[in-house]
Amino acid sequence: MTEIMTLQNVSVHFPVRGALPFLRKGEIQAVSDVSLSIHRGEIFGIVGESGCGKTTLASAMVGMIKPTAGQVLFEGVDLNRLPRDEFKKMRRRMQMIFQDPFSSLNPRFNVYQIVSEPMLIRGEDDEETMKARVVELLELVGLSSQDLYRYPSDFSGGQRQRLGIARAISLNPSFLVCDEPVSALDVSIHAQILNLLLELQEKLNLTYVFISHNLADVKKMCDHLAVMYLGKVMEAGNSDKIFANPMHPYTQALIAAILDIDFSEEREIIVLPGDTPSPINPPSGCRFWQRCPKAMRGCREVPPEYVEVEPDHFVACHLVNGFPDQELPEGYDQPMVPREKVPGR
């Protein structure tokens, strides 16, 4: 399989400004040193708690955010080094679907205007071609030509998401980021939209990045996945391998919390103490150590390396990979029991 998207050591930091706009108080490390590759025709999941950097990472993939460091290669071409015109052309082949279909659709535009807008901006088609294309797109997503002059407020949440999808695929993209596409929808509609995405992927030969909090959806949809925590990838690789054998304590906790997957064996619900720390001053060492039920003293100081532990399965955890060969703090392999207090922020 060929790679369609490759990230090489991508970091995205946002400045935090003080009371005076020119005073920088620090930076939010939304994404830190992420490397991964996505293959053509697959569904690649990104999971992790709110604020861990999923949307930021996906925005960097489609060129909506310029990374602070690292490279984003789409079909082997560095997006951020393209001349403006070529960047624009390339950008059309990558689209994004958002969580909330209502706020991402202009309420004053009718269906025809919404779906045809990307074509209008591209400026290559006449009115008649655009109309025919919009009707074709509506039918593809399960709406009809009768909806052409209706407004977003006339539709249900699920229908609005269909509309968002029609708009996103209007320019024949090959790479589509679905950012929490169903989390705002009722459970019954939820499955319909996921099935629609699967159908379209097959028909149109699309590659998806599928962002979700919901691991059950990720399990259903994804070929590969990356588990993020505070801007870092903790575990990534083949989805079946990760679900069968999650190695990072964070992934283990996430998977243990899925209620609607039938596990034949008895299992333990792992409750992670505390909240996600701030990405402004992320913890030293492993970013997860403060909440990790298995943390050792060394985890606090030594950042784990990201290692391929079996083919197509990567983990960044000292428990799995052992500590690197360097000067290590005293008692580095002792468990942190009794739990040491998480420092205040």
Ligand X SMILES: Nc1ncnc2c1ncn2[C@@H]1O[C@H](COP(=O)(O)OP(=O)(O)OP(=O)(O)O)[C@@H](O)[C@H]1O
State the binding partner of 28 from ligand X, Mg ion, none, CB within 5 to 8 A by kind.
ligand X
Which residue type, as a one-letter code, is found at position 27?
E
State the binding partner of 50 from Mg ion, ligand X, none, CB within 5 to 8 A by kind.
ligand X
Q: Which residues of the shown chain bind Mg ion in the complex (CB under 5 A)?
A: 55
186 contacts: CB under 8 Å, gap ≥ 6: 157, 158
Q: Which is nearer to ligand X, 112 or 229 (CB)?
A: 229
State the binding partner of 47 from Mg ion, ligand X, none, CB within 5 to 8 A by kind.
none
Q: Which is nearer to ligand X, 97 or 137 (CB)?
A: 97
Q: Catalogue the E-assigned strands of 49-169.
A: 69-74, 77-78, 94-97
Shortest Cβ 305–ligand X spacing (Å): 23
Shortest Cβ 227–ligand X spacing (Å): 12
Shortest Cβ 223–ligand X spacing (Å): 21
Q: Which residues of the shown chain bind ligand X in the complex (CB under 6 A)?
A: 14, 28, 30, 50-56, 279
299, 46 Cβ separation under 8 angstroms: no
Q: Which is nearer to ligand X, 14 or 151 (CB)?
A: 14
State the binding partner of 226 from Mg ion, ligand X, none, CB within 5 to 8 A by kind.
none
Q: Catalogue the E-assigned strands of the chain.
A: 3-17, 24-39, 43-47, 69-74, 77-78, 94-97, 175-179, 207-212, 224-229, 232-238, 307-310, 313-315
Q: How far is CA 298 from CA 47, 293, 326, in A?
A: 26, 14, 11
128 contacts: CB under 8 Å, gap ≥ 6: none
Shortest Cβ 222–Mg ion spacing (Å): 17
Let me know how many helices (H) and strands (E) the chain has, helices first. 10, 12
* CA–CA separation, 345 and 342 (whole Å): 9
Shortest Cβ 211–ligand X spacing (Å): 7
* CA–CA separation, 36 and 19 (whole Å): 37
Q: Which is nearer to ligand X, 54 or 224 (CB)?
A: 54
Shortest Cβ 53–ligand X spacing (Å): 4
Q: Which is nearer to ligand X, 50 or 153 (CB)?
A: 50
State the binding partner of 279 from Mg ion, ligand X, none, CB within 5 to 8 A by kind.
ligand X
Q: Which is nearer to Mg ion, 104 or 252 (CB)?
A: 104
State the binding partner of 252 from Mg ion, ligand X, none, CB within 5 to 8 A by kind.
none
345 CB burial (10 A radius; 0-12, 13-18, 19+): exposed
Q: Which is nearer to ligand X, 50 or 188 (CB)?
A: 50
Shortest Cβ 89–Mg ion spacing (Å): 27
State the binding partner of 56 from Mg ion, ligand X, none, CB within 5 to 8 A by kind.
ligand X
Strand partners, 74: 5, 77
